[in-house]
Structure 1
């Protein structure tokens, strides 16, 4: 089966973007690059390449609710409006979710729906950058919830411009990503259904976990459940 999907990016949730930047510097040993504002969700971010030969466009996103933005009029992505999540983020930034890039999001969305998965509605989003406008489609549930508590990623399809194309080498690389929820076997089947195979498992209670090679050595992160 040809690969229809690949890892796009990891999501680190933070109570504030400044806290996220400080966490990145202290934990990974690097300062994240610039990001932007998401008018659709009233969030903002900073970005950092974690590219590998297998996933040459993979990056890490640090995201927080934008205090200067208006209420988006809908539930934000990544469970950011959940009181429980905000309470946990008040203890410090944490690995929150991951996003999978697909070539045809309508097809991928339909395949997951056929498996009984509600990946949400397909939304059009964009933001301006110094290198051009980023445009993408992303599947977000109306309740903002992560699929299988994060064991399954959000689906995204980018337009002509991808944010990683202009990111410098950061010194941080993804070493591994493993699914480990109660529904881990079903999650891996759903991912393999789109051609994303070879993900491992992990022994913790979190829905997924990652390992990153960084200037500070190997860093292991488990997702916020």
Structure 2
């Protein structure tokens, strides 16, 4: 029996972490929590905010104080976007190394931040799968009730919708369908790759795209 996969988090990529945080805060109308940390293996750092019960928002950027990695950074951050944007999404899949991972996600590698360790699929060239439209997969390697998102600070926002636009949207949706069934995720065919997330919270609905 295949372990259940769930939408884990959405990713805002930025050339500068403070700029990325400010971009999100302007849309939320509230200051982001201070939670986050550094990824020495990838030369990046982030800020985090829980969404609902067990998902979260990540703002990530190259860390100017870190030693440059000898391999490509994840999330395409060797070439970050000129302005912050919603760039990617991730699905958590228990028992990741036992699964037949769909798509072009690359191998599952081990990552660490402080005492936390997890597995995540990262293409060898560091690029985003299908321009960010197709999710990466991760495994927190712990019981669902103990996963890190549940302990992250919350501002009362929830992820209510994620729209994925891609020239081959029907094919990507079909590839992912056996793994993830989430009514919040919708697919749209379009010339350009784009993600748009709707967050509902104390300041009303806001859009990250």
Output the TM-score relative to the length of structure 1: 0.82
Equivalent residue number for residue 131 of structure 2: 149
Equivalent residue number for residue 24 of structure 1: 24
Q: Which moved more, 1:154-163 or 1:3-12?
A: 154-163
Which whole-Å CA distance do the structure 1 matches of 2:189 and 2:109 have between them? Answer: 34
Equivalent residue number for residue 76 of structure 1: 73
Which whole-Å CA distance do the structure 1 matches of 2:3 and 2:96 have between them? Answer: 13
What are the residue-to-residue correspondences of 1:201-212 with 2, within 5 Å? 201-202=187-188, 205-212=192-199
Once the two structures are TM-superposed, the CA of residue 171 in structure 1 deviates from its matched residue by 2.1
CA distance 1:73–1:48, change in 2 (3 Å): same
1:37 is aligned to 2:30: no
Q: Deviations over 1:16-42 (max 9, x none)?
A: 111122222211122222101001101
Equivalent residues of 1:29, 1:214 under 8 A apart: no
Which whole-Å CA distance do the structure 1 matches of 2:208 and 2:39 have between them? Answer: 25
1:65 is aligned to 2:59: no
> Which one has a larger percent helix, Structure 1 or Structure 2?
1
Equivalent residue number for residue 94 of structure 1: 85
Q: Which moved more, 1:208-217 or 1:61-70?
A: 208-217
Equivalent residues of 1:134, 1:159 under 8 A apart: no
| Counterpart among 146, 151, 156 of residue 166 in structure 1 | 151
Once the two structures are TM-superposed, the CA of residue 192 in structure 1 deviates from its matched residue by 1.2
Equivalent residue number for residue 119 of structure 2: 137
Q: Deviations over 1:55-113 (max 9, x none)?
A: x311000101000000111101111112xxx3x33xx32111111100121233x241x
Output the TM-score relative to the length of structure 2: 0.88
| Gapped regions of structure 2 (runs ≥ 5) | none
